[in-house]
Structure 1
Amino acid sequence: MAHQAPNATILNSFPDTDALVESLAFFIAKAQKDSIDKKGRFTVALSGGSLPKMLRGLIGNPSIKWDKWQVFYADERVVPLEDPDSNHLACTNLLFSKVPIPKDNIHVLDTSLLDDLEELSDAYEKELIREFAQKDAARFPVFDLILLGMGPDGHTASLFPGHELLAEEDRWIAYLEDSPKPPPKRITFTYPVINHAARVVFVAAGKEKVEMLKQVLDNPEAGLPASRVKPVHPGQLYWFVDDAASAAVQYPRSPFKL
């Protein structure tokens, strides 16, 4: 059994990225099976950055039931879908173009609204409402799995250090036009949405993550955005990292077995 700390954060560290990718794919497949067995669908949210390339273990995986997936983006850059900055484009190039997922199962921005951030975020929130509110009748959507990365400043999704959106408690989807990292205009899940997920997984690899990973895991009281991801009970928080990223971390590692 994996070690479970009092704050329900489970740290899995692997010798290299290949082992991480394989184990992450196994974890996702198991989460998918549990969700489909219970309710016939699997709701997933993805972020961009380095995350999409870490999902390559899903390609050609016979246990993945792509027709049961409903995919959303935990954050997205307010750009056309074919723009190089688009998270959707990255996920498409690295994953979705290589697997048989129905196009309608991937929920993208309404690109006719790119000039109106409020309308754009409201429209994406309505996409979530259509998927979750009628089926689950919850105050916030309860994703089966949200997959996140962590930036060099400790940001996650498009929730940045010191930004006013860190305090948002009501909206499901919020927008910002002053991202400290380009492009400046983005939409993002808020903490209530992230923290109501059944499972949240951070994925981080490489020695360039080592100092920030240590801060987030060993010094959560500093309040970095990634540290504020704390799923409410019975939700669970997992980190999938490689040993290069976790080299300085004191937080207890968990044994992960395929």
Structure 2
Amino acid sequence: MSAIHHAPSAPILNVFANADAIVDALASFVIKAQKDSVEKKGRFTIALSGGSLPKMLRGLIGNPAVKWDKWHVYYADERVVPLDHPDSNHLSCTTNLFSKVPIPTSQIHTIDTSLLHDLEELSDAYEKELIREFAQKDAARFPVFDLILLGMGPDGHTASLFPGHELLAEDDRWVAYIEDSPKPPPKRVTFTFPVINHAARVAFVAAGAEKQDILSTVLDNPEAGLPASRVKPAFPGQLYWFVDEAAAVKVAFPSTPFKL
């Protein structure tokens, strides 16, 4: 039987007064995604990226509605460094969030640091981590995360998918590696677009005036093909943007009042 391909839904753009307002709304959004997922299947699968995103999740700390024992956390991308290295996305997420909440460490899925010397083995091993969680539970060609949270760089990159890079065309692997990242450190592993675009929900978080130009390009000129513009979850998946007024000042794309 051939696969049925659905056109992606239009993104939902939520604009908030400032970063603190994003924090509160994002916490409510994550908790709603968690609630829906736990009610359906008893677990919540979420993938995180690094950059400023971990700090934006502080609204979850101390919130009694978060069922940390149901969370299964993966990284949309990771730098090929030890887990305690300043460049590690895991270290950033641990410092800003996981060290402050009662999440079982066995449910936070990190890269295998014994394989840092071999990018092929490292990415294969992380792909197998995803297979263990998803292959037996979901009859899909790619994993279906309940939620993937992403940031966006000033060049329009997301996860470790950079403009003009050959990984933008990867359509088979779940996890791939890059050893020539234009942004240091050069060696990274990353989810591919098929994984990101099979998620039930994907949300970008972008704040600050320095994001004005790139946010306008990504939302208003998607045909430019920047990596962040290529995030288009297939129906019934949905893409959300959580941005502040400073970042959105040049955007023509229509915003939507935030609602759960």
Residue 177 of structure 2 is matched in structure 1 by: 175
CA drift of 1:43 comes to 0.2
Q: Who is 2:234 aligned against?
A: 232
- Once the two structures are superposed, the pairs formed by residues 77-226 of structure 1 within 5 Å of their partners are 77-226=79-228
Unaligned 5+ runs, structure 2: 1-7
Hey, what's the Cα distance between the residues in 2 that align with 1:7 and 1:246?
21
Which letter maps to 1:240? Answer: F
* TM-score normalised per structure 1: 0.97
Of 52, 59, 64, the match for 2:54 = 52
Once the two structures are TM-superposed, the CA of residue 52 in structure 1 deviates from its matched residue by 0.4
Contact 2:9-2:234 at 8 Å conserved across structures:
no
- Deviations 1:110-146 (Å, cap 9, x if unpaired)? 0000000000000000000000001112110000000
Q: Does 1:64 align with 2:66?
A: yes
- Return the TM-score normalized by structure 2: 0.96
Q: Which residue identity is paired with 1:237?
A: L
Contact 2:157 2:228 in 1 (8 A): yes
Q: Please report how far the alpha carbon of residue 7 of structure 1 lies from its aligned counterpart in structure 2 after TM superposition.
A: 3.9
Give, in angstroms, the shift of residue 253 of structure 1. 0.5
| 1:6-25 Cα shifts (integer Å, max 9, x gaps) | 84200000001111100000
The answer to whether the 8 A contact 2:46-2:145 is kept is: yes
Partner of 2:37, secondary structure, is: helix
CA distance in structure 2 between the partners assigned to 1:200 and 1:128 by the alignment: 17
> Using the alignment, how far apart are the partners of 1:161 and 1:86 within structure 2?
22
- Equivalent residues of 2:9, 2:238 under 8 A apart: no
Q: 1:7 and 1:127 mapped to 2: Cα distance?
A: 29
DSSP 3-state at the match of 1:135: coil
User: Number of aligned pairs?
Assistant: 253
* Gaps in structure 1 of 5+ consecutive residues: 1-5
Shift of 1:257: 3.7
For 1:58 and 1:247, the matched residues in 2 are separated by 28
Q: Distance in 1 between matches of 2:38 and 2:206?
A: 27
What's the secondary structure of 2:106's corresponding residue?
helix
Residue in 2 that maps onto 1:73: 75
Q: 1:40 pairs with 36, 39, 42, which one?
A: 42
- Alpha-carbon contact 2:9-2:233 (below 8 Å) kept: no
Measure how far apart 1:69 and its partner are.
0.3
Aligned-partner residue type, residue 90 of structure 1 = S
Q: Contact conserved, 2:16 with 2:244, CA < 8 A, in 1?
A: yes
Equivalent residue letter for 1:204: A
The 8 Å contact of residues 208 and 246 in structure 2, kept in 1 or not, is answered as yes
Q: How far has the Cα of 1:164 moved from its partner? A: 0.1
Q: Distance in 2 between matches of 1:193 and 1:57?
A: 27
Contact 2:175/2:191 (CA < 8 Å) preserved in 1?
yes
Using the alignment, how far apart are the partners of 2:178 and 2:229 within structure 1? 20
Give the ranges of 4+ consecutive aligned residues of structure 1 lying more than 4 Å apart after TM superposition: none
State the secondary structure of the residue aligned to 1:27. helix
1:252 Cα shift? 0.3
What is the match of residue 3 of structure 1? none
